[in-house]
Structure 1
Amino acid sequence: MARKCEICGKGVVVGMKISHSHIRTKKTWAPNLQRVKAIVNGTPRRIMVCTRCLRSGKVQRAI
């Protein structure tokens, strides 16, 4: 399963972690995804959604 929001497309970001001694190592930042039951095209479906989309009301939750 891809670590990507199905509403806004937010996904994993890659960058460098830099220590105090300036040693650089690769690091990934993953979005805070939640598996929710939402209404998609009139039918309830389980989708992966980031918490930013949940809070802003872009997702209509199914009961």
Structure 2
Amino acid sequence: MAKCALTGKKTTFGHSRSFSFKLTNRAWKPNLQRRRMMIDGRMQTVMVSTKALRTMVKTKGK
């Protein structure tokens, strides 16, 4: 199962509810992207959620 390297966000499971109230299984997957980042002085390819990427961009200037 894919997981965000920074936040630990991963697939969550639940049920879809139809109009007749019938339950069917479904999954909510995070929007993960492959990005190359400097970790411990080395470039590594990691899976990062888009929300984590946005936060990194926002806090980079501070």
**Is TM-score (shorter-chain normalized) higher than 0.5?**
yes
| TM-score, length-scaled by structure 2 | 0.86
> Percent identity, aligned pairs only?
35
2:52 corresponds in structure 1 to 53
Q: Any idea what the Cα deviations from partners look like across 1:29-48, whole Å, max 9, x if unmatched?
A: 00000000111111111000
- Which stretches of structure 1, 4 residues or longer, exceed 6 Å deviation after superposition? none
What amino acid does structure 2 have at the position aligned with 1:32?
N
2:36 corresponds in structure 1 to 37
Q: Which runs of 5+ in 2 are unaligned?
A: 58-62
Q: Distance in 2 between matches of 1:26 and 1:8?
A: 25
| TM-score, length-scaled by structure 1 | 0.85
Q: Distance in 2 between matches of 1:25 and 1:31?
A: 20
Q: Distance in 1 between matches of 2:13 and 2:41?
A: 36
Higher helix fraction (1 or 2): 2
Q: Output the aligned Cα RMSD.
A: 1.2
Q: Which runs of 5+ in 1 are unaligned?
A: 59-63
